[in-house]
A and B are shown apart, each in its own frame.
Chain A
Amino acid sequence: MEIKKTSLNKLHQSNNAKFVEFAGYEMPIQYSKGIIEEHKFTRSHSGIFDVSHMGQLFIYGDESLTKELEKIFPLDLKNLKQNCSKYSFLMNENAGIYDDLIITKIDKGYLIILNAACKNQDFEILSNLLGSKFKMNLDNNRSLIAIQGPKSVEILNSIINGVDQLNFMTGNWFDFDNQKLFVTRSGYTGEDGFEISISNYKAEKFVENLIEKGAQLIGLGARDTLRLEAGLCLYGHELDINKTPVEANLRWAISKSRLSNGGFIGSKKIMNQMQDGASQIRVGIKPEGRLIAREKTKIFDDTDKQIGEITSGTFGPSVNGPIAMGYVDKEFSKVDTKILLEVRGKKHPANVCALPFYKKNYVKGVN
């Protein structure tokens, strides 16, 4: 299969990107400054991320659409206000996660942002569940650009006046160069920021404008270290079809009002696990010293019994030390529990710790 390119591919090239294949797309892993500088620039200033490989699914319909979607997602969509977003999951009957996603209520429908590697399967699953009653469009004509970090609001507002009035996890339509863009105040770095859905043919010009105002392109490498410091899950690592939201320690994302009556796919399993607890749970892990424990590193207790596995592990540039997330047996999930990580045949001490590793600066109550 031919590798796909986003509409910013030429711009990445002219900024000396190193490319990798990710979910069938040629994506920048880093630019010339490298992952650590890109990471720190995002935390202190403003980073631009091309996330156009992700799916933008628009679903339009009458009031019955909300009802149908509530049979799928563990959310109180009836009471979700227009232009407000929620983090959620597409699950199977066993509450195994097909994908994690952001859903936003828009005029006459919903916009769902899906992971690149999952988007085509998600579309099929949702088409089968919803039937032909609603208009569904997995829109390949739009790019998705994230701008993240403390200076992002000032930079973006100088190009699109009014975005500074958005609260975290809300969005709206704005104009740029005679085009409609959908902007949400959201992101996946632990920083204040925005995600902008924009027509492919305007994307390059838009990003060039952001760069002129002082923002810089950041690759997927730093996106990974940023999200891991923020304690955020990455599908295919922390989340997959064998993990449930309760096991992933994401029960906060399930609307309370939906837990009493269920009625969404996977609700039985979720309600059982909420009551009895899950046997394994996702935790933050800090290795002692400088040791890095990568994905698939085995976790042991002090009696040599394996009690879990690392799902992501790297060096956190803002934490200035190694960080990881993984799943451990329930009885080892308390903060400050001592565990052992097997790296290159030797066991090294580590501690279960609270997430996030790096504290967020999300904006609430602007208006």
Chain B
Amino acid sequence: MSEVKFSKEHEWITLEGDVATIGITKHATEMLGDIVFAELPEKGSNVEKDGTAGVVESTKAASDVYTPVSGEVVDTNQAIVDDPSKINEDPEGSAWFFKLKMKDQSEMDSLMNKEEYDKFAKESAS
């Protein structure tokens, strides 16, 4: 599995072969608070880099989830739809959002590594 990469919209992404797994970062869940609703893209649909690919809602507000890369949705995580509190519990592990079959793996190149993201998140929070 590839190194974990991160987007400025606070998504994380890993790549295995040509299939990317995407979720939202721990930092994002801390900003959102208790997540009580999740909506995921439909399996078989195509999503475009930086386009919306779902929604999460906390007790306070709704937020769009973006996809950091383009591709076809090959799997979604029904467990977080059934119990959205799992996203707060394990955002960067079992609470992944969706898997994409990537078209263009070079889209990964512009994303941040962990160190860069941590710095970005720290700065954007203050």
B-binding residues in A (CB < 8 A):
29-30, 34-37, 221, 225, 290-292, 294, 314-315, 317, 322, 344
Contact = CB atoms under 8 A, between A and B. Distances in A.
A344 B81 CA distance: 17
B60 interface: yes
B84 A36 contact: no
Contacts, number: 38
Contacts of A37: 34
B41 to A, nearest CB: 13
A30 B59 CA distance: 11
A343 to B, nearest CB: 9
B37 A290 contact: yes
B33 A292 contact: no
Contacts of B57: 292, 315
Nearest to B88: A34
A221 B34 CA distance: 11
Interface in B73-126: 81, 84-85
B78 to A, nearest CB: 12
Contacts of B84: 290
Contacts of B55: 344
A290 B60 contact: no
A205 B84 CA distance: 39
B92 to A, nearest CB: 18
> Majority SS of interface residues in chain B?
mixed
A19 to B, nearest CB: 14
B37 A34 contact: no
A290 B83 CA distance: 10
B80 to A, nearest CB: 11
Nearest to B36: A315
A285 to B, nearest CB: 16
Contacts of A294: 61-62
Which has the most chain A C-beta neighbours within 10 Å: B34, B55, B59, B85?
A: B59
A187 B57 CA distance: 28
A38 to B, nearest CB: 10
B36 A221 contact: no
A35 B35 CA distance: 10
Contact of A221 (B33, B81, B85): B33
B19 to A, nearest CB: 27
B31 to A, nearest CB: 10
A30 B58 CA distance: 13
B37 A35 contact: no
B107 to A, nearest CB: 26
B62 A35 contact: no
Nearest to B31: A18
A314 B37 CA distance: 10
A291 B34 contact: no
Contacts of A315: 36-37, 57, 59
